[in-house]
C-alpha cells in the first residue's frame, strides 16, 4: 500500500499538476479543499481532483468558523497589517491547515502538501501550523521543489499527462479570494507606479461606476461582534455576505499598498474587502465612544503586534491566545450602533451610540448646561508641568 499524503487542493493549475507529480513520487494523494468562501464551484474542482487521480477529495465548509473565530476576532483587535491590510488571506491559511491536519489524522496520512511558492508568506503559514499541530507529518511543497519553473512548463506537463485544467487563458493576476477579502498581485501591478487597471477590480465597482447616490448602513455590535445590519440580526457569514454586496456596489474597501513580506521582499498588493472596511470603521468608531483613553491607547500596540503574528504565520501560538484574552476583556462594553455612509469608494462613519457610552454631553458642551469646572484647569496644568520644570 502506498503512503498517503493530504494535499491542500484549490482546483487551479498548480495544485492540479501537484496531484500527478506527487503520484509519480509514489504517494496515494487525498485532497482537501477548505471552503472559506472562495465562491468557486467546489463540486467541479472535486471531480477534477478525482479525474487526475486523487483517491479522495474532501470539501470542508469552514466559512462560519473562519468568520467567527478568525475574522471577527481580528476585527475586535483592530489589527491591520502595516495599517492597511485586513489579513484575509493570512487568516485563511491556519484554519485550512488545521482542518487538513484533522483530515490527515483521520486518513492516517504520513505527509501533507500545499501549492505555495517559495517566495510568499502562505508557505510559512501552512507549514508553521503543520509543524505545531502534527510535527510527525512530512511536509512537501511541490511548487517550491519541482522543475516546472514557468506557467507554460506547467501547462505542457498538464497536457502531457492529460490533466484536465480550466481554459488556460493567460492569467493576468494572481488572485486569492475568500469571504473576508480578495488579494490581487502580479502582472502590471508589479510596477508600484502603475495605476491598477480596471481589470484588477475583481468584485467591486470602480468609484466612477459607483452610484451617484450615497447609501447608509447601520451596524449593531454586541461585545465587539457585529450582530445586526440595519436593525436585522444575521449569522456571521450572512452578515458579511450582505455587507460585501452593499459595499462593493459603492466601490468601498479597495486598498493599494506595498507591503513587507516575511521573506524579506516588498510586494505591491491590491485588496478588496468591502464588508471588512465597513466593519472596521464602525468598530473603531464604537470603541472611541466606550473605551477609556488608557485602554484605547494600549490596545493600539496590541493591534500592531497581533497583525504581525497573523501575517507571519503565528496564529497558533501562546502570545496570540493571550492577546485574545486581553482583547475580549476590552470588548465587554463595545455594544451599540454605528451609522455609516457609503459613497464613491468611501465608508464614512456619521453616527454612533451606545448604552455604555463614556461621552458626557454636560462635560463636552460649549452651550447650555455645562458642568465642567474650568477653574480646576489652572492647578491641574501647574502640576502636570511640574516634573519637567528647570
Ligand atoms: N500578500 C498577501 C499575504 O501575504 C496576499 C497573498 C495572496 N496570495 C495570492 N496568491 N494572491 O497575505
Q: Is 183 in the pocket of ligand 1 (CB under 6 A)?
A: yes
**Within 10 Å of residue 67's Cβ, how many Cβ atoms?**
27
For residue 169, the model assigns a pLDDT of 60
**Radius of gyration from C-alpha coordinates of the chain:** 24
Query: Distance from the CA of 62 to the center of ligand 1, in angstroms?
Result: 19
For residue 241, the model assigns a pLDDT of 98
Q: Is 127 in the pocket of ligand 1 (CB under 6 A)?
A: no
Residue positions annotated with a catalytic role = 14, 93, 122, 174
Band (pLDDT 50/70/90 cuts) for residue 343 is very high
Query: Distance from the CA of 25 to the center of ligand 1, in angstroms?
Result: 29
Domains and CATH numbers, the chain: 3-76+91-169 (3.40.50.620), 177-353 (3.90.1260.10)
Band (pLDDT 50/70/90 cuts) for residue 168 is low
Which is the closest atom of ligand 1 to the Cα of 81? 12
Is the per-residue pLDDT at 1 higher than 90?
A: no
| Phi–psi pair at 224, nearest 5 degrees | 80, -5
For residue 213, the model assigns a pLDDT of 98
Band (pLDDT 50/70/90 cuts) for residue 167 is low
Query: Tell me: the pLDDT tens digits for 128-145?
Result: 999 999 999 999 999 999
Which is the closest atom of ligand 1 to the Cα of 271? 5
For residue 219, the model assigns a pLDDT of 98
Is the per-residue pLDDT at 72 higher than 60?
A: yes
DSSP letters along 212-250, please?
A: SS-EEEEEEEETTEEEEETTEE--HHHHHHHHHHHHHHT
Query: Distance from the CA of 31 to the center of ligand 1, in angstroms?
Result: 22
Share of the chain above pLDDT 70, in %: 99
Is the per-residue pLDDT at 40 higher than 90?
A: no
Closest CA to 77 of 239, 299, 310: 299
Mean pLDDT value across residues 34-62: 95
Mean pLDDT value across residues 57-75: 98
**What pTM was estimated for this model as a whole?**
0.96
Share of the chain above pLDDT 90, in %: 96
For residue 146, the model assigns a pLDDT of 94
Residue nearest to ligand 1 atom 4, measured at CA: 121
For 320-371, the three-class secondary structure string (H helix, E strand, C coil) is HHHHHHHHHHHCCCCCEEEEEEEECCEEEEEEEECCCCCCCHHHHCCCCCCC
Which is the closest atom of ligand 1 to the Cα of 259? 1
Instruction: Give the position of cell 492540479.
Output: 16
For ligand 1, mutation pick of 122, 143, 307 (most atoms within 8 Å of CB) = 122
Handedness of CA 244, 249, 252, 258 (dihedral sign): positive
Query: Tell me: the pLDDT tens digits for 215-256?
Result: 999 999 999 999 999 999 999 999 999 999 999 999 999 999
Query: Tell me: the pLDDT tens digits for 271-309?
Result: 999 999 999 999 999 999 999 999 999 999 999 999 999
Query: Distance from the CA of 183 to the center of ligand 1, in angstroms?
Result: 6
Residue nearest to ligand 1 atom 9, measured at CA: 176
Q: What are residue 30's DSSP bridge partners? A: 6, 56
Instruction: Compute the mean pLDDT over every residue in the chain, rounded to the nearest whole number.
Output: 96
Q: Is 269 in the pocket of ligand 1 (CB under 6 A)?
A: yes
For residue 28, the model assigns a pLDDT of 98
Residue nearest to ligand 1 atom 8, measured at CA: 176
Query: Distance from the CA of 89 to the center of ligand 1, in angstroms?
Result: 6
For ligand 1, mutation pick of 143, 144, 176 (most atoms within 8 Å of CB) = 176
Q: Is 331 in the pocket of ligand 1 (CB under 6 A)?
A: no
Which residues fall within 8 angstroms of residue 334, CB to CB, at 6 or more apart? Answer: 76, 221, 223, 224, 283, 286, 287, 290, 291, 354, 356
Amino acid at each position: 500500500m502506498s503512503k498517503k499524503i493530504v494535499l491542500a487542493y484549490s482546483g487551479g493549475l498548480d495544485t492540479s499538476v501537484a496531484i500527478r507529480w506527487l503520484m509519480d513520487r509514489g504517494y496515494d494523494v487525498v485532497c482537501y479543499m477548505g471552503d472559506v468562501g472562495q465562491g468557486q464551484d467546489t463540486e467541479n474542482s472535486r471531480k477534477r481532483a478525482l479525474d487526475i487521480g486523487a483517491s479522495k477529495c474532501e470539501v470542508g465548509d469552514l466559512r462560519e468558523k473562519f468568520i467567527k473565530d478568525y475574522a471577527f476576532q481580528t476585527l475586535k483587535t483592530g489589527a491591520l497589517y502595516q495599517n492597511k491590510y485586513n489579513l484575509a488571506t493570512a487568516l485563511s491559511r491556519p484554519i485550512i491547515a488545521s482542518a487538513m491536519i484533522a483530515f490527515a489524522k483521520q486518513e492516517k496520512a504520513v505527509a501533507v502538501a500545499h501549492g505555495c511558492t517559495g517566495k510568499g508568506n502562505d508557505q510559512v503559514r501552512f507549514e508553521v501550523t503543520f509543524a505545531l499541530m502534527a510535527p510527525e507529518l512530512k511536509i512537501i511543497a511541490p511548487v517550491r521543489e519541482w522543475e516546472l519553473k514557468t506557467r507554460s512548463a506547467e501547462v505542457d506537463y498538464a497536457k502531457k499527462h492529460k490533466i484536465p485544467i480550466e481554459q488556460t487563458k493567460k492569467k493576468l493576476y494572481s488572485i486569492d479570494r475568500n469571504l473576508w477579502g480578495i488579494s490581487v498581485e502580479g502582472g502590471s501591478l508589479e510596477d508600484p507606479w502603475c495605476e491598477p487597471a480596471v481589470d484588477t477590480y475583481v468584485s467591486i465597482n470602480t468609484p466612477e461606476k459607483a452610484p451617484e447616490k450615497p447609501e447608509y448602513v447601520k451596524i449593531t455590535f454586541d461585545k465587539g461582534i457585529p450582530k445586526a445590519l440595519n436593525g436585522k440580526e444575521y449569522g456571521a457569514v450572512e452578515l458579511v455576505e450582505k455587507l460585501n454586496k452593499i459595499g462593493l456596489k459603492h466601490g468601498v474597501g479597495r486598498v493599494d499598498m506595498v507591503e513587507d513580506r516575511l521573506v524579506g521582499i516588498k510586494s505591491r498588493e491590491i485588496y478588496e474587502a468591502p464588508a471588512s472596511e465597513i466593519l472596521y470603521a464602525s468598530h473603531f468608531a464604537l470603541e472611541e465612544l466606550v473605551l477609556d483613553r488608557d485602554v484605547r491607547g494600549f490596545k493600539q500596540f496590541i493591534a500592531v503586534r497581533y497583525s504581525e503574528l497573523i501575517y507571519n504565520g503565528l496564529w497558533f501560538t501562546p502570545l496570540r491566545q493571550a492577546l485574545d484574552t486581553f482583547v475580549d476583556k476590552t470588548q465587554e462594553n463595545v455594544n451599540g450602533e454605528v451609522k455609516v455612509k457609503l459613497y464613491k469608494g468611501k465608508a464614512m462613519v456619521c453616527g454612533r451610540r451606545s448604552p455604555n457610552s463614556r461621552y458626557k454631553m454636560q462635560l463636552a458642551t460649549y452651550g447650555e448646561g455645562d458642568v465642567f469646572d474650568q477653574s480646576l484647569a489652572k492647578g491641574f496644568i501647574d502640576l502636570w508641568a511640574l516634573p519637567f520644570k528647570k
